A and B are shown apart, each in its own frame.
Chain A
Amino acid sequence: MKYLDEYRDARIAQALVAQIVQHTTRPWVLMEICGGQTHTIMRYGIDELLPCGIELVHGPGCPVCVTPLETIDKSIELALRPDVILVSYGDMLRVPGSHSDLLRAKSQGADVRIAYSPTEAVKIARSNPDRKVVFLAIGFETTAPANAMAAWQAKRQGLNNFSLLVSHVLVPPAIRALMVSDTNRVQGFIAPGHVCTVMGCKEYEDLVRDFRVPIVVGGFEPVDILEAILMLVRQLEAGEAKLENQYVRSVSYAGNLPAQQIMTEVFEVADQKWRGIGSIPQSGLRLREEYASFDADRVFDLGEITVDEPAECISAQVLRGLKKPPECPAFGMRCTPENPLGAPMVSAEGACAAYYHYRRHPVAS
């Protein structure tokens, strides 16, 4: 398959590894932001191919993982109301809230439906005028334009039974928060290619300048990741800090302007809580005042829900790159994809799930 086979070619990958080995004279700590990249690294064993001085730490770029527990609890509460149809991306269903998950709510009779696109939820709202349809709109800049489009369509169609339960997060403020933190060890970033397909590379210029940290926008296939690592190592070894784009077949400097336009029309930047990380200023999106009637938080009286994570789960440290999943005592034993304690074990982009699926590890018997 074009654009896939050549990026999974073992010979090209081996040649890149040889170049990385050749250029590396010192240890470096690199972070791949996106959970999709983490999965590629684990699946293809990229970390095991690298010279031992190069450490990859896994970033917070797993939308399901950073969605606050409160949002999950709210979605469950909404789903259990008889007049509500809750529509969600499939990977949210098993994410544990404080006491339940959407899948369990579904088996208790809640009308929970899976959609591949938020505009499907708009269609469901149109064909169920006597029900209230709520779409669980979570994610990074990648899903924001489609979620914005759903709100825009619903408004244009004059729907009064459609709303979004929004938990949108932005990558650059999260990198900034990591860089200013006392515990940061990261010396170079692989920026998320899909986010940058929407937003372009330009957003990352400030971070490179402010922190003198190299950032390479990277793709998701093994050759992409290896090339991005090589580009970072070259910069670090040369004492440089530049913004570079490895994922040129998808990402431009300015990004997808129509997508950005609809995002700006529907959403505004706001402070946002990240599960496991806490509140980061100006790191999320919320619906603008003109779209208040499509904001589930404002349409429904959900009250303030504050809850705590299970004490045993170390996902907070995993999401900040401070610990690796197998360092968790519950990993693979009391926490598995079937019975997860934390979100990173559930999501197809979660670091714990990546280690669980692709690594040898002790398992509960």
Chain B
Amino acid sequence: MLGHGSGGKLSAELIRDVFLPALRNPVLARLDDQAIVSVNGQRLAITTDSFVVKPLFFPGGDIGSLAVHGTVNDLAMGGATPLFLSSAFIIEEGFSIAELRRIVNSMQQAAAAAGVEVVTGDTKVVERGKGDGVFINTTGIGLVPNGVELSANRARPGDKVLLSGSIGEHGIAILAQREGLEFETQIQSDSAALHTLVADMLVAAREIRCMRDPTRGGVSSALNEIAAQSGVGIQLEEHEIPVCEEVRGACELLGLDPLYVANEGKLIAIVAPAAAQALFKRCGVIRWD
């Protein structure tokens, strides 16, 4: 029987036990956030993600912008330049057209800001009670520049872990909104597209082993995946990890560990020691070892 996924160990087991054995091929088996395939000498990145966020609207974004950022970021983590998106909507019967319009407009704005176009789509309406307002799936396609090789199995002993900013804001913003928790200052989701930062980083340093955007399951789950796939251990200095006061406070109150809380606009990079300095100077990426 299926439990509810948190992006952690349970999801990993589901992939390992159900999906991989049935669908196994060398590209899928890499289990990166995106597949990279060669077509006529060009390397294409493909990724897909489904968005079932509740609430649909939250401080700092909504399901529409999130569906763009999530997929753009999954492409970017492979070093790809995002080009085109598809979007499929599963809409519950009776859902407000005004809210749907708001979501689609937000999607358009996020796509325009990220420089990608939604070039195909699909809509399905399901009976009332068989959906939760709106579910969105987006698939993204992008081009990987020559020489860029990012994969979760490339981390080596001695590498450094970089983080692009403070963690936990998206998860706490969603939780606070969903549970009606009120804090003195409203925590905004960090939902944002990361491909421009990734492009800058790839220019600044060659020896970047892999990148991950620590979404569901947070920084810990992302680093655990990298550690498992690369066969390395990863040590973090807890006090070096930036967590804003509001998120820290909320986590203390709710008994959560910020390392396991979702982000939607942050990236982790595993880089060679020399690259860490260059990236730190050029891109202002926050560093910790």
Q: Which positions in A face B, CB cutoff 8 Å?
A: 1, 4, 103-104, 107-108, 116, 338, 348
Contacts and interface: CB of A to CB of B under 8 A. Distances in A.
B217 to A, nearest CB: 14
B3 A107 contact: yes
Contact of B2 (A1, A4, A107, A116): A107
Contacts of B181: 116
Contacts of B10: 338
A116 B179 contact: yes
Contacts of B2: 107
A338 to B, nearest CB: 6
A4 B249 CA distance: 10
A184 B3 CA distance: 40
Contact of B252 (A4, A108, A348): A4
Contact of A348 (B1, B13, B249, B255): B255
B282 interface: no
Interface of B: 1-4, 9-10, 13, 179, 181, 245, 248-249, 252, 254-255
B55 to A, nearest CB: 16
Among B3, B4, B181: residue with most chain A CB under 10 A: B3
Contacts of B1: 104, 107-108
B248 A103 contact: no
A1 B252 CA distance: 10
A37 to B, nearest CB: 14
Contacts of B254: 116
Contacts of B179: 116
Contacts of B13: 338
Nearest to B256: A348
A104 B252 CA distance: 28
B259 to A, nearest CB: 12
A336 to B, nearest CB: 9
B9 A338 contact: yes
Contact of B245 (A1, A108, A338, A348): A1
B248 A1 contact: yes
Contacts of A107: 1-4
Contacts of A348: 255
Contacts of A108: 1
A103 B1 CA distance: 10
A1 B248 CA distance: 8
A1 B249 contact: yes
A104 B254 CA distance: 24
